[in-house]
Structure 1
């Protein structure tokens, strides 16, 4: 730490002492220093008006008052003054004021006389990215971004940041009220259960998160299930299509971000997930939101779910007037599961359901230059039926610089669904297949 005042950089970023570079264990006291900031004297009788006029250039820094009391040196003056601290990135001299600020100062009789005020700056006054930029090796990427899941901050640290992981975690927790646990993903997502191995960087080792999304409440063990807060808008988009009484078949339901709000909307849900933990929390969240009677849940492989419970129920559902929506949100693999719908039903099961074919919403990742075309072609290949001109594609989000998450929506073609297409009007039906074991939600 240096005892000499340091003038702030032209960027207005506070440069902590050089001694903190490479710090592994967080020493908050090491960030304390004295800096000089520009300031202006303002009479108290026009103080509020002047501060409002200078709102673009006043100092805004966590934990620091921008208006200070000062001793009036001119005892003959009957007007008290306050010292208003200014942003050094905006004001460096009397000529730095813009036309609007200069006109306001003149109108209120405030001289454009800048003085330097020595300000004690501590760890509490710094922003997280400023601290991390000072600590991490110079020239390396600095991250203070994270996904928030309830009380948990989830980070994806890069290799050069790993040695500073615990310090980064503590800074994130200090600078974000309500965060009591910071974790880092230690490997790629498990393709079977869609969960990550996580390392606790800072705070309590409590992975059970409580989240509110689109008016619904969810609880789950974040370390054992899949949850992505960046998909909130997509969950809402799909649910907005639904009407009371519709049928929703959620093949990869997770803890219920599609199923729960759809049930609240008055839909009847068949929800499935292979992960036993997701299945358990799906049931819990149904009860938590008082929609459990609307949800029939399954703990099966997605393909087995389609070829079993869905196949068993689909003919009867298609004879009704309710629309049927199939949601397949497993973007790494869902397109490959579309083949489970091929030849799912017998020809005589098509009677009286010509106009009520399921609407499918299937998600996928693409790294191609034309991700929309890529998703449509891959979906068609899995179905062995072209979807060109028969579907819509929605760009969900940019996952990385060359990776997009897309959703392709289409009506499931009859040529795919039935073993053969026939105009025979024979209404005979074959016996129902053996019922699959499932969990019916009860009080």
Structure 2
């Protein structure tokens, strides 16, 4: 039992460290504030466009805020049906000291989307009513010492009165709307990732009848979201994209995002983009020095290639997907990195055994280091055998300098993912890596599934072997392969 609990704790720790955005309330029952600070959890920065926003299972502020029962089972959004009145406590305050007292009573004041906390007190021009949170205030004894002192200073009696508050759809949070609509007892959690103006969902089977409504609610409740899509299959296609269904909005799939200070544009429906990898991109780029060469075997639209080039590295970036290849070129130009990047549109294995093999002898004789990035976690470990005998017959003596350093990604469902990816990488290379590599936990993809990065200097006995990879080694499924194109103008 102890190893299982430790593994779960490590997963929670890693999740918090690797997310761009941490919704702190949903962790409050699991982690103390001290733990959150220790692992560096932080709220979303307004400068980060890539956001992951879960809708946690939690009770509303009060049972008072449950919408009318008639909305249950609604599949076509009727906003007018979400209208009802609730009674909330209120405190009568003199108008001339209203601002000072409102600040002192901030802890107990009502906070609902779109609700004014200060309202007119009938026809009394000298007073206003401050609406209070019924979850915090039920009687005069609910006020703290500081609040009681502030009220006493201005002679305000601790007398509560009821106020009939009209609530509508606009005053509800997205999870409250969905909890009221979906059948009771069914999970309404629907985490989504935000990619520019697009909210991307992975709906469960019982949520599908409500998918259009869910899309409209998320678009209503999240400013800047103008398109909501649902993934309809797994990422098992040739080009690592997946089929999507537009649930709400304009259907515009060309997103513009900002990650770590760089801007990327791409058609989200035709390329692979994961907003949860921002920290990993930044970590690897932080290992680079000006003058290094980066070989990005599965480059996508450029999240490694662009910042590496802007850091002063020469970059060879490849991707099999023609759409990724085109957007890679576009993003290099958009970020003024195109002069340092050569782009290729090839199968990853052909790229390693073609352009990289041709360039590598000269690169090894240079002053800069060579980093090979292989971010295709479903397959990349199997591609390592492409390095067997890559420079066979030349001999290490002819190639002074440090050996290429490989950063290869893989998924693991094993109890010891570090050992698992190390063993698989060793088997693919045909040379043991135990004690010669480092393994980094990137993120938790799903329960019992981790994304790992194994980093190592490419062994001499692999690179200069006389034996190359066996025939029939796995390749990216490719309908066709295209030649490379130099990215310089």
The reply to whether TM is greater than 0.5 is yes
Q: Quick check: 1:331 aligned with 2:359?
A: no
Runs of 5+ consecutive residues of structure 2 not aligned to the other structure? 1-58, 468-481
State the match for 2:349 in structure 1: 303
Q: Quick check: 1:60 aligned with 2:111?
A: yes
State the match for 1:381 in structure 2: 427
Larger RCO (alpha carbons 8 Å, 6+ apart):
2
Q: Tell me, what secondary structure is at the counterpart of 1:238?
A: helix
State the match for 1:430 in structure 2: none
For 1:143-222, list aligned pairs within 5 A. Answer: 143-222=189-268
Give, in angstroms, the shift of residue 141 of structure 1.
1.1
**Segment drifting more, 9-18 vs 366-375:** 9-18
Task: Please give the per-residue CA displacement for 1:285-319, whole angstroms capped at 9, x wherever unaligned.
Answer: 11111211211111111111111111111111001
State the match for 2:98 in structure 1: 47
Task: Please give the per-residue CA displacement for 1:6-63, whole angstroms capped at 9, x wherever unaligned.
Answer: xx97736610000000100000000011111111112223322222222222111111
Whole-Å Cα distance in 2 between the matches of residues 270 and 27 of structure 1? 53
Q: Quick check: 1:132 aligned with 2:183?
A: no
State the match for 1:291 in structure 2: 337
State the match for 1:238 in structure 2: 284
For 1:345-356, list aligned pairs within 5 A. Answer: 345-356=391-402
Task: Please give the per-residue CA displacement for 1:322-363, whole angstroms capped at 9, x wherever unaligned.
Answer: 011111111111111111111111242422535410111111
Task: Please give the per-residue CA displacement for 1:377-406, whole angstroms capped at 9, x wherever unaligned.
Answer: 221121122211211111111111221111
Contact 1:17-1:31 at 8 Å conserved across structures: yes
**Segment drifting more, 391-400 vs 224-233:** 391-400
Whole-Å Cα distance in 2 between the matches of residues 51 and 284 of structure 1? 52
Q: Tell me, what secondary structure is at the counterpart of 2:65?
A: coil
Contact 2:341-2:488 at 8 Å conserved across structures: no
**Segment drifting more, 139-148 vs 167-176:** 139-148
Runs of 5+ consecutive residues of structure 1 not aligned to the other structure? 1-7, 74-78, 422-435
Q: Quick check: 1:395 aligned with 2:441?
A: yes
State the match for 1:367 in structure 2: 413
Whole-Å Cα distance in 2 between the matches of residues 113 and 174 of structure 1? 38
Contact 2:367-2:401 at 8 Å conserved across structures: no
- Aligned match for 1:100, one of 146, 149, 170: 146
Contact 1:9-1:89 at 8 Å conserved across structures: no
Give, in angstroms, the shift of residue 205 of structure 1.
1.5
Contact 1:72-1:81 at 8 Å conserved across structures: no
- Aligned match for 1:19, one of 57, 70, 73: 70
Give, in angstroms, the shift of residue 209 of structure 1.
0.9
TM-score when normalising by structure 2: 0.82
Give, in angstroms, the shift of residue 420 of structure 1.
5.1
Q: Quick check: 1:252 aligned with 2:272?
A: no
Contact 1:344-1:417 at 8 Å conserved across structures: yes
Whole-Å Cα distance in 1 between the matches of residues 175 and 431 of structure 2? 51
Whole-Å Cα distance in 2 between the matches of residues 54 and 374 of structure 1? 56
Q: Quick check: 1:119 aligned with 2:165?
A: yes
Q: Tell me, what secondary structure is at the counterpart of 2:394?
A: helix
Whole-Å Cα distance in 1 between the matches of residues 254 and 446 of structure 2? 28
Q: Tell me, what secondary structure is at the counterpart of 1:439?
A: coil
Contact 2:255-2:268 at 8 Å conserved across structures: yes
Task: Please give the per-residue CA displacement for 1:105-125, whole angstroms capped at 9, x wherever unaligned.
Answer: 333432222211101101111
- Ranges of 4+ aligned residues in structure 1 off by more than 3 Å: 8-13, 352-355
TM-score when normalising by structure 1: 0.90
Measured at CA, do residues 9 and 24 of structure 1 come closer, stay the same or move farther in structure 2, by a change above 3 Å?
closer
RMSD between aligned residues: 1.9
Contact 2:345-2:483 at 8 Å conserved across structures: no
Q: Quick check: 1:38 aligned with 2:89?
A: yes
Give, in angstroms, the shift of residue 86 of structure 1.
1.0
State the aligned residue count. 417
Give, in angstroms, the shift of residue 133 of structure 1.
0.4
Measured at CA, do residues 218 and 348 of structure 1 come closer, stay the same or move farther in structure 2, by a change above 3 Å?
same
Whole-Å Cα distance in 1 between the matches of residues 350 and 419 of structure 2? 29
Whole-Å Cα distance in 2 between the matches of residues 340 and 110 of structure 1? 79
- Structure with max Cα Rg: 1
State the match for 2:358 in structure 1: 312
Contact 2:342-2:488 at 8 Å conserved across structures: no
